[in-house]
Amino acid sequence: MKERAGPCRQERPQGCLSLHRHRFRPGDARVRSIQWRAVAYQIGRRPKLATIMDDAEPDVLAYMTIPKEHLAKLHSTNPIERLNGEIKRRTEVLGIFPNDDAIVRLVGAILLEQNDEWAVRPWKQSAR
């Protein structure tokens, strides 16, 4: 968030940063876009920040298109980070792969193993 505040720092930083606290209510995508445009209009005197907001709108509001029942499952990226770490650890053990098919088989086996674990485990249970 601080790197996005860069264009605001020179004049009235508190007023500019307060725009970051604006909450976009779940609901119609058109309403969210209107809310986003209203915030972007308020910072119209800061063209760099307005450009950043224009570029970021689809990415920032993308999570609001996810169904409500799935949002609870997206609380953390820790399971994915742990899986990436496991893939890295196992590939470093071998070091050099004879061909592309070998690494595809290894990573595919790791992903299948993890998929089997996730399929039988309740989603809220911690990854251990």
Tell me the residue range of the domain where 96 lies. Answer: 76-120
Same-domain status, 91 and 107: yes
Same domain, 12 and 45: yes
Cβ atoms of 29 and 64 within 8 Å: the answer is yes
* Statement to judge: residues 92 and 58 lie in one domain: no
C-alpha 75/C-alpha 91 separation (Å) is 28
Question: Is 23 domain-assigned?
Answer: yes
In contact, 103 and 91? CB cutoff 8 Å? yes
pLDDT by position in tens, the chain (length 128): 445 555 555 555 555 555 555 566 666 777 777 888 788 777 777 888 888 888 888 888 887 777 777 777 777 788 889 999 999 999 999 888 899 999 999 999 999 999 999 888 776 554 44
